[in-house]
Structure 1
Amino acid sequence: MDKRPASIPSPKKLLYDYIAEQGTVSKLDLLNVFSFTKSTMTRILEEMTNEGLLIESGFGESSGGRRPILYQINPSYGYILGLEISRVYSSLGLFDMHMNPKSITHWRMDQTFTPERFLEHVSLQTRAFLRDHQLEESQIIGMGIGAVGPLNREKGLILTPLHFPAAGWNNFPICRLVEEQLGFKAVLDNGANTALLGERWSIRHANIQHMLYVHAGAGLRYAMMSHGQIVHGTMDMEDAIGEMIIQTDGPRLNNKGNSGALEAFVSLQALEQRARSEASMSRDQFLDTYKVTAENVNYDVLVKALRDDHPYALKLFTDAAFHFGIGLANVINLFHPETIILGGALIQSHELFFRTAVEVAQNNIYRYPEYRPQFSLGTLKEEAVVTGAAIMVRNQMDLGIK
């Protein structure tokens, strides 16, 4: 029996991951990176090709002799499902091994989406994907899940998520139930981490090593990547950014968490609470314009007002973006990433929010402008979580030790 720790990848896995990252490579390219002998490299590539892991994809440029064979991973070796579990919208995607999306579906989460109904919906959508693409269950390698935290990743549990419209999500064994109902291996991480994996994959050829992802929506979530690897704490830390104190003795969101925490200023819930409170104290034209009572002011109404350039909505969102920029600067000053990707409903609400948050963050970044991180809305956006969840499964593939 091989005594090496499971964390040490096999030679096949090392080659497979490198080829997946690069796209197409020659044997010489691989020999320049890995310390295998030429005969060992030839043997491993032949084995991986015979097993269907790799395919030959043409010939490279000649350097004086025979043109080298180029290799890439086989896109149809298997297929992977990526699942997003979020508070507002959830998604399911089917991907080939190149992370090309074959099908992706999104649905709105409401009070009817209990865990039981959610799993039923996922099961029906999965069967539809298989039918549409004429796939067998045996061709599915697994399902990656990016979910709202906090989580227990090792046990595959969603622990105590806040702000879900339906009840029943506490201590929910999502991985076990997916495996029982669908028969696929399931792996779990928080949605911010999988979103960052997805976004980093979309710009992998830029070779960015240090990245930050922040999602501002029903709550605040974030993820960090250092040297190309997701940073995991001793506990799931996805929502920790929301508890960052930016105003001593400030408000609390729903009488929970820290006083003066960032989430009390920057979240769908925070904006709704402020708007309802201010509307109830004065009969503003805002209520008459949008034909709502103070109690019925919700995020959809506020976004419509923002896009109508209503002065009250502009101030409300500008204030939130200012506070968000302060929180963002605090995280950046601790980490100094190369790229910061911002996502979520608040970021997408209006270009004003993104612009204001970035300007405030830049004005409060230590050593700016010598240090100039890149701010981005991302490439994959609403498909980042499911893509990253699928990548997580591919990253954990066991290719054996030979």
Structure 2
Amino acid sequence: MSAILWEWLDMAVRWLHVIAGIAWIGSSFYFVHLDSSLRKREGLPAGAGGDAWQVHGGGFYHMVKYLVAPARMPDELTWFKWEAYATWLSGFALLVIVYYFGAELYLIDRNVMDLPVWGAVALSIAGLAVGWLAYDGLCRSPLGRSDNALAAAGFVFLVALSWLFTLLFSGRGAYMQMGALIGTMMVANVFLVIIPNQRKVVADLMAGRQPAAILGQQAKQRSMHNNYLTLPVLFVMISNHYPLAFASRWNWLILAVVLVVGAVIRHFYNTRHKGLPSPWWTWAVAAAGAVVIVLLSMAPPADEEQAAAPAGPVTFAQAEEVVLSRCSMCHMAEPVWEGVRVAPKGVMLDTPERIRLHAGDIRLQAVLTHAMPPGNVTEIPPGERAILAAWIENGARVE
């Protein structure tokens, strides 16, 4: 019963995370588009920076933006914040359920660093806190006066952390740590900068004071950071299904390229929505980045050179022995590995026919990358991976 409840808890939190993320990203994209499409026209109210007409669902909408605030507080005001908070809370809950409770499988790799579970969890939480403080410090430093300089410094900062996390955690864990950190930065921007600044503006209006323009400028800068980080963080969210990303030798460099690709795609749309000439060069950069990612993912795992090719032809019996001793404790109808309740992705490797059927998955997960076993918990040596590679290259036959 407990295993069933735990499985449904995982599913429910994951579903909530996706729903909240859609709501947050949707509203973020919409308001950046709206802000970019505003036009200065005659007849606008005092203090308005522009307006836009939109049509949706059979109705027309007239949107007006004030550069600082209107002359008086409206009777009703909608705050966009709960989508961000729900996304982070559900995402952190998933981090705890999957990566903290399952740290030995998904967060720790003994070949990278032999961490105790409590140590890995402590490093992860500390990484989130220190990462946010460092990013916030960059924004508040003199670099924050230049959007371009701050963006460059932020990129170097994130790439450096990506590399650092690959020295602490498994490839999968390092990617999820980066996703959690970027998500934390984004929601902290909302919780600690954007919403507080907006509340200060509201308080000034209610007190009859003129709000400071810097409050809106700071909020806008953080909002644009969130906008440009959205596509990379979405990539990280789904990357745990693609070992060629997180389990590659150059996984941190792949993430660096993803940061660039995501940013230039958002730049294309942000510029286009402003009515400026479309920067088509961004798609060339994105395509080149995609090619670089594929090439980086083709590099052999770091320890592959240690494995000597098997002497003579490899039989199925040799490959089967590796699979049964290193993989089948999880990939069977009733897994016997603690914490694994059902065979991951429904892949079972407990019979010769099932092993042959999933030869392609074995090649991707255990040969081309070392994503499996997770964190190499069953301590499969390079020589046994070489046996699997030779058997698959020979046609994955079952004698």
Q: TM-score, normalised by structure 1?
A: 0.21
Bigger Rg, which one: 2
Higher RCO structure (Cα 8 Å, ≥6 apart): 1
Greater fraction helix: 2
Q: TM-score, normalised by structure 2?
A: 0.22
Greater fraction strand: 1
